[in-house]
Structure 1
């Protein structure tokens, strides 16, 4: 796998990881905190979004997932032939 491909795959894994991390970083919406809503703002909008914490956890998770992907790419633990269920 070349460097441009690896960077593209890492970026895709990073974006997926961001969606996986969001429910676990403790973001609460204004309704749960009892704060008034700003006109035009959704009830589900958070009062404070921890961008640095989200980016840190996303990067850590994406790095682990990408390392597993890359090791599988190098050593062939799971191949396309193993996923072909029509052969059975």
Structure 2
């Protein structure tokens, strides 16, 4: 695998992992809280910590990409291991 291909695939892992990490570890502001701003969405986080989200995203994306790359190099699971015919044709 070329370096640029690996970098592009890592970037895809990072972005998708980042989107998956956003809802974890956030606390919404209740309406009776003094920090509540009238008109703000109820799902808005009390304290958004982008550094923490970026750190979590980087750790998880790196682990997932390492598994992907090891599978690519070692050939643990290939296209021949996936039986698509069962998904396409209905059972008799």
Query: Deviation above 6 Å: which 4+ runs of structure 1?
Result: none
Bigger CA radius of gyration: 2
Note the C-alpha offset of 1:83: 1.3
- Alpha-carbon RMSD: 2.1
How do 1:44-83 residues align onto structure 2 when only pairs under 5 Å count?
44-83=43-82
Which consecutive unaligned segments of at least 5 residues does structure 2 have?
87-92
**Number of aligned residue pairs:** 86
**1:30 corresponds to:** 29
Structure in which a larger fraction of residues adopt helix:
1
Note the C-alpha offset of 1:76: 0.7
TM-score (norm 2): 0.78
TM-score (norm 1): 0.81
Once residues 32 and 52 of structure 2 are traced to their aligned partners in structure 1, the CA distance between those partners, rounded to angstroms, is 20
Once residues 33 and 8 of structure 1 are traced to their aligned partners in structure 2, the CA distance between those partners, rounded to angstroms, is 45
The 3 A distance-change label for structure 1 pair 38 and 73 is same
